[in-house]
Structure formats: C-alpha cells, structure tokens
Amino acid sequence: MKGFHGCYWRFDLSRNCGERIAIEDSVLRQTLGGVGLGAWLLHKEAPVGVDPFAPEAPLIFSFSPLVGTRFTTSAKFAVVAKSPLTGFISDALSSSHFAIAGKSMGVDAIVLVGACVENSELVDGRLRPSECWGLSAEETAGRLARFGRVAAIGVAGEQLVRFANLSTEGRHAGRGGLGAVMGSKRLKAIAIRGEVATEIANPDQVDQLVRRLRKRASGESTAKYSELGTIANVLSFDRLGTLPTRNFQASHFEQADRLSAENWHGRRAHKRTSCASCTIGCEHQFAFTSPRQSEESSRANGDQREKKQTRIEYESLFALGPLCGIGDPDVVLAAASRCDELGIDTISAGATLAFAMECGERGLLADAPRFDDPDSLLGWLDDIAHRRGLGDRLAEGSRRLAGAIGQNSIDFAPQVKGLEMPGYEPRALQTLALGLSVGVRGADHNRSGAYEADFSEDVDRLCGNASSAARAIETEDRAALLDSLILCKFVRGAFEDFYSDCADILTAVTGETFGPERLRSVGKGIVDLRKAFNIREGWRPADDTLPSRFLSEPLASGPARGARLPKQRLDEMIESYNLERGWSADGYLPASRLAEIFEERLAVPTSVGSGEGV
C-alpha cells in the first residue's frame, strides 16, 4: 500500500542491533499510523503485565501515512509505551522534523526494546556512550545535530521522574512519563536520518487536497490559534468558572487578567513560530525576566536578572499559574521554560505541586510547597527533576504521593488513573467530566475533545446526562483518527465534512479506497484497541471515575458556583458511554471485537474482564 513502507525498525538496546520487521497491509489499513499503529505495536511488543521500566517494555515512535507529504500539520509522530505514571497505555504526540526523518528511514515506526548497558545515545543505527548525560534535551539535540534529527530526554528522564517528557526541536511528547521510559533504558537520545522517499498513490490529487486544506486552515477556523494561541483560554475559562485554581478548590482565579493573552499581546515582547510543515503558527513565545533564584546568584550577577523568551501553552500556564495560586507572569513563563529545560510535563508538575500545596495546608505533609508563593516555584521544579528532598516524592506523581500520605488525600489528588488533570474544571464541563473519566490515558484532554460539546450552546455544561455519551464518543473517535493520520487537532475546524475529507486525503495518499464510513469504523477500532491494552494490563471499571472531590463538593464560588456532579450522574453517563460503544455496561469489550478487527493476530488474553469480555 502506498504511503507506507510496510515495516518497522526494531532496535534491541541490550544487544545493540536492529532489524526490520514487516507490518501487513491489513494492520496498516486498520491502524493507519500514530496512536493507532503505536497501540498495535504496543500490544505486539509489550509482554503482558510488563513493568514500564523493565528492559522488555517497548518504547515506540510511530509515524503516519501523511508524514512527508505537504499536508499542513502532518509532520507529527506518536510516542507510545506503557506509562510509568498510570500503568496503562500512554501515547503522546509531537511535531517536528524528527517525524520526517523517521519516515525517510524507510520505516513506519521505530520500536526500542531492551536497555543499554551504560548511559548511551543511539546514532547512525548504533549505540555509543552518552556524551550528553546531564544536559537538557535542547543542548543534547544541538550536540547530536550532525547525526540527524534528535529526540532526547532531559535530566528528569534520566532520573526516572514519572512524568518526564521526551523532546524534539523544542516540542514535547509530554504526557505519561515517556521520557522516564527512555531514561530507564539508559538512552539519552536517538538521532535519525534517511533518504528513502515514500511513494504516493496520486500525487496530483494530493497536491490539490494539500492546497485545499491549507486554504481552509488559514482562515477563521484556526485564527484563534494563530492570533492568540491556546492561552486565549485563560480569561474565557475564568469568566465561565472553568479555570482550575489552587488544586481545583476553585474555578475562578482572581489574578487571571494578569495571565491573559489579551493583556500580553501588544504589551509583552512576543514572536510567533510554527512546527515543521505547519501553516497555522500557533506557537507564541513571550519574553520574561527570569526571577531571582537566590541571594547568591543575585550577588554573582549584580542583581541583573536574565531576559529570556519561551513558548507557552494554556495547559502549562494554568498548571504553573492558577493551579498553584501564582499570578506573576514572569514566574509562570520562567517555570514553563524551566520545565522544558528539565524535561518534565508541565501539567503533571503543576498539578502534583498544587496537590502537595493543599496537603501542606491541611497539615498532611511537612515542609510542603505553598500556594501563592512565586519565589519557590522554580526551586521545587529543580528538586523534582533531580529527585532532591521532598522533590523525590513529588517525582512519583500525585497518585503515588497520595498513596504515601494516606489520610484520604487521594480524594483530592487531581488525577485520573494516575495522570494529572488538564486545565478544565469538570464540575462546570460535565461532558468533559465523562471524557476525563473514561480516557484510557487517564485525565486526558487530547484523546477526548468532549469539551467541544460543553463550549457550545447545545448542552447544559453544568448538568451532564445520558446524551453526553454520544457527544464524548464522537470527539474521541475523531481524535483517534486525527491522531493516527496524523493531523493537528487545530485544523479540526477546517474540514467541510470531517470523515469524507479525511477519506479523500487517505485515498489519494495510499491508493486504497477509504470511504467516510470505513474511516469512522477505523477510528472506533483504534479506540477499542487502546482500551483493550488497558484491560490486558489490569484495568477495572472502578478506574473510570473522577477523584471524590469532584463528586462530593459543589463549586463554592465564581460564575459556576453551586455546580455539582453527583457520583450517580457520572456513573450513569459512564454506563451510557460503555453501552453506546458496544461494550458491556461496566466497560469491557466483547471477546469477538478485536478478533473481528485484527483477525486474531493480537495475543490479547480473553481470561480477564467480566467473563466473556476481553
């Protein structure tokens, strides 16, 4: 099939050798690439019940049929592994020339298994002792640039911080601790390059479709991202009472104005850039003055604080700002920049710190970080990444920290399945509350866009019901397809008819006829596949829920004051969701489901689940 190479490169780090392994067309037709193909490879390569840090646990870089074409936002890849934070599947996307270089190797994916005998880098297809251990990912990429495009981890990945990320060209596969998986293999970086062209079935039609998508994606459908970036959410979310504040104790932040895109644009030095192959340009970088770190450093520098510039997204801003009670723009920007240098996921870092702050307030954790304390934030991030002092416990994430603290602190640990929650207050966005609860990655705003329903006039966002299930499913299925093709979700408004347009693109690239209904079915199959991995790894229905706080405490203040999400309501929504997916009421897949899709090629045990389920 055109658009693919029909194989993946499996490199065994223990043996320092790699081989190409064929992937059948039937698999590629059902999984496409990205998270779909990555999930299939994870099923295939990961031993059942494997420890995410064990050498046998695979780390997968999965490309897609559109990589290397000129479709806007198509230079993307998925990194897939069993998450050390959740114990379930983690699939994070990133955008960079790394994707194009990987596809140019003549493969559809790279699978790393085993572990290096010493700290190493994988360059030119061979391991060598690492010269970059201890450096940031950016510094590492600079050192290895002559070997091609680089994916690397920072100090946090080396230290097995469970929410360490993996970086390429300043973009991150951020969620779920994939950087820690790479660190557990003692692999600092992988540099790749190649010269193999990918055959396209119908180049003329592809050109036509490329132009059409670019045109549509240059208009109003993406203007929010190009004009303001995702930080435009801050003030709107605050007005709607959906801006999580001080560890979700409130949904309205009194200093939101100070952190708003509307205030920053025009008043703070700023530049806009794009990912590789992107015509939208959503990346907004803002200048900041690095906060003074210590008396010692200010003496050394004569109190001259450094001026820097960093990219910032809403999720980083909410997690390191309102969630920790911090409204100083310089501190929040510096913290986001520091997370990038250290190689940690900003959401999990901010949310774990915010949880520790509330534990401290409640007298459950000694010497804890404090809300509204901008002076100490950067120090805490360093402590986490280097696993120093209390930072060592914070590096385990909020769920494990709550487990260690006990005293019912898990009730207000802001996580689902161990993954820290993104910047959406679920009591005020109840379709998303469902999406977060059932997300296979954990609390996930990327694989479920259920908030799209809440931010519309079609639903009462403060009162979810059974009809929320269909809306959540629709956004999950679309996300599964976009994340496998792969195209950026920021073009989601640029399609005239989503499934038809995607089918046209895939047909022109591969030469296979992909109708809209077939693609819809592919999206659903990918959702099933990801869920099946979790079931295989011990998922139970009780994992699909929100922390007790959200189900027992109404919002006490702000525009959404009084909003509540009773457990019974959430449970009913989840049951509707499961049944509408064709699963059992408690969320198990019928035993026949994956066999239908994959002709029983996957070794998925049928003994787990509720009797007959997978």
Partner 1 sequence: MIEHVVSCLRPVVDEVIVVTSAELELPELEARVVIDGEIGGGPLVGIREGLAAATSEFAFVTSVDAPFLNAKYVEALFSLGAAAAPVSEGHVQVLSAIYPCAAWRNADNHLRRGSRRPLRLLEELDYTAVSSDSAVAWCESEGPRPWHGFNEPKEYLEAVRALDPTATVELEFLGRAANRTGPSRGRYPVGTLGEVLARAESSTSLTSGPSLIENGRLRKSHLVCLGGRALVRDLSIPLGPDELVSVIDALAGG
The angle at the Cα of 231, spanning 227 to 235, to the nearest 5 degrees, equals: 105
Interacting residue with partner 1 among 204, 266, 295, 367 (CB under 8 A) = 266
Angle, to 10 degrees, between the axis of helix 498-510 and the axis of helix 203-216? 150
Cβ nearer to partner 1, comparing 360 with 559: 559
Tokens 């049928």 label which residue?
606
**Strands of the sheet with 171-173, listed across from one edge:** 126-129, 120-123, 187-192, 149-152, 166-168, 171-173
Element (H, E) at 110: strand 109-113
Cβ pair 383, 394 in contact under 8 A: yes
Please provide residue 479's backbone torsions phi and psi, each rounded to the nearest 5 degrees: -65, -40
Cβ nearer to partner 1, comparing 220 with 296: 220
Strands (E) located in 119-234: 120-123, 126-129, 149-152, 166-168, 171-173, 187-192
455 binds partner 1 (CB under 8 A): yes
> Among residue numbers 312 through 331, which ones bind partner 1 (CB under 8 A)?
314-315
The rounded distance, in Å, linking the Cα atoms of 338 and 172 is 13
Stretch touching partner 1 by CB under 8 A, among 16-24, 82-90, 203-211, 237-245: 237-245
Cβ nearer to partner 1, comparing 452 with 537: 452
Cβ nearer to partner 1, comparing 132 with 312: 312
Residue type, 325: G
Concatenated DSSP letters of 546-582: --HHHHH----SSTTTT----HHHHHHHHHHHHHHTT
Helix (H, G, I), strand (E, B) or coil at 201: coil
Cβ nearer to partner 1, comparing 403 with 554: 554
272 binds partner 1 (CB under 8 A): no
Q: Tokens for 52?
A: 């995410």
Residue type, 128: R
195 binds partner 1 (CB under 8 A): no
State in angstroms the smallest separation of the CB of 463 from partner 1: 5
State in angstroms the smallest separation of the CB of 462 from partner 1: 4
Cβ pair 209, 504 in contact under 8 A: yes
Interacting residue with partner 1 among 75, 80, 161, 232 (CB under 8 A) = 232
State in angstroms the smallest separation of the CB of 456 from partner 1: 6
Stretch touching partner 1 by CB under 8 A, among 79-87, 261-269, 339-347, 404-412: 261-269
State in angstroms the smallest separation of the CB of 227 from partner 1: 6
Helix (H, G, I), strand (E, B) or coil at 48: coil
> Among residue numbers 510 through 569, which ones bind partner 1 (CB under 8 A)?
558-560, 562-564
449 binds partner 1 (CB under 8 A): yes
Cβ nearer to partner 1, comparing 16 with 236: 236
Asked whether the bond before 110 is cis by omega within 30 degrees of 0, the reply is no
> Among residue numbers 475 through 494, which ones bind partner 1 (CB under 8 A)?
489, 493
442 binds partner 1 (CB under 8 A): no
Cβ nearer to partner 1, comparing 202 with 221: 221
State in angstroms the smallest separation of the CB of 469 from partner 1: 15
Helix (H, G, I), strand (E, B) or coil at 416: strand
Cβ nearer to partner 1, comparing 233 with 249: 233
463 binds partner 1 (CB under 8 A): yes
Cβ nearer to partner 1, comparing 316 with 409: 316
Dihedral of the CA atoms 284, 289, 293, 295 (nearest 10)? 180
Interacting residue with partner 1 among 8, 11, 451, 495 (CB under 8 A) = 451
Q: Which residues are 268's β-sheet partners? A: none
Cβ nearer to partner 1, comparing 121 with 444: 444
Element (H, E) at 92: strand 89-95
Q: Which positions touch partner 1 (CB under 8 A)?
A: 220, 223-225, 227-228, 230, 232-233, 235-237, 239-241, 257, 260-263, 265-267, 314-315, 422, 424, 445-446, 449, 451-452, 455-457, 460-463, 465, 489, 493, 558-560, 562-564
